């Protein structure tokens, strides 16, 4: 505190949705480096050493529940802004740019090569050149399935039970109980009871 005023850090600016200096702030650079080292350690674990993988992910990610699985390689900016629910599963090569909060609900499935990016650069070219960024939270609600090679951009919420088709770029909120696809991602149709009959079920 100085002269009766609070000193707001660049990290606090980022978490509150204000423009912040991502390029030159010592605290942010140190936090990113610490997270990068942990991600490197996680990604180089033996595939069979599940216990060590779990220990490292719990050091990286801000909040986890009882059961979850993340298949390496996995990368994120800070880690402490990420919250994952129970039975969360992420396949190979998930990238989370968690400059703001990224929240995954319970039973979320993430296919390979997906990106969740809360980060955006300043639109003004001079600020952008100076390394000024903006970050907005991402929320993935319960029981969402994210298809392969999907990008979810800053400020997006995906409603519960919805499916995002492979290759989609999600730029706006997606409601609950729908299938959505495309670039930009748009609702294709609602989920219906007929979807329960889509695939054959083995019966003796």
Phi/psi of residue 57, nearest 5 degrees = -60, -40
Name residue, tokens 């629910």: 85
Identify the burial level of 1 via C-beta atoms within 10 angstroms of its C-beta, where 0-12 means exposed, 13-18 middle and 19 or more buried. exposed
**Which residues lie across from 103 on neighbouring strands?**
83, 139
On the question of a cis peptide bond just before residue 184, with omega within 30 degrees of 0, the verdict is yes
∠ CA 39-45-51, rounded to 5°: 100
* Sheet of strand 186-190, all strands in order from the earlier edge strand to the far edge: 68-70, 88-90, 109-110, 145-146, 163-164, 178-181, 186-190
- Which residue in the list 86, 121, 127, 186 is annotated as catalytic? 121
- Assess whether 162 carries a catalytic annotation: no
Active site residues: 121
């Amino acid at each position: 505190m100085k002269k009766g005023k609070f000193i707001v850090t660049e990290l606090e600016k980022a978490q509150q949705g204000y423009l912040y200096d991502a390029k030159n702030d010592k605290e942010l650079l140190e936090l990113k480096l610490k997270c990068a080292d942990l991600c490197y350690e996680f990604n180089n674990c033996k595939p069979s050493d599940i216990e060590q993988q779990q220990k490292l992910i719990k050091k990286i990610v801000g909040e986890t529940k009882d059961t979850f699985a993340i298949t390496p390689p996995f990368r994120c900016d800070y880690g402490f802004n990420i919250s994952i629910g129970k039975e969360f599963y992420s396949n190979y090569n998930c990238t989370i740019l968690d400059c703001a909060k990224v929240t995954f609900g319970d039973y979320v499935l993430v296919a390979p090569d997906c990106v969740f990016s809360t980060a955006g650069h300043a639109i003004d070219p001079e600020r952008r050149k100076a390394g000024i960024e903006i970050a907005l939270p991402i929320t993935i609600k319960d029981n969402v399935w994210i298809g392969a090679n999907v990008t979810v951009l800053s400020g997006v919420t995906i409603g519960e039970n919805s499916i995002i088709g492979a290759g989609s770029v999600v730029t706006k909120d997606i409601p609950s109980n729908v299938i959505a696809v495309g670039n930009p991602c748009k609702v294709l149709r609602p989920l219906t009871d007929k979807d329960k009959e889509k695939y054959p079920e083995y019966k003796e």
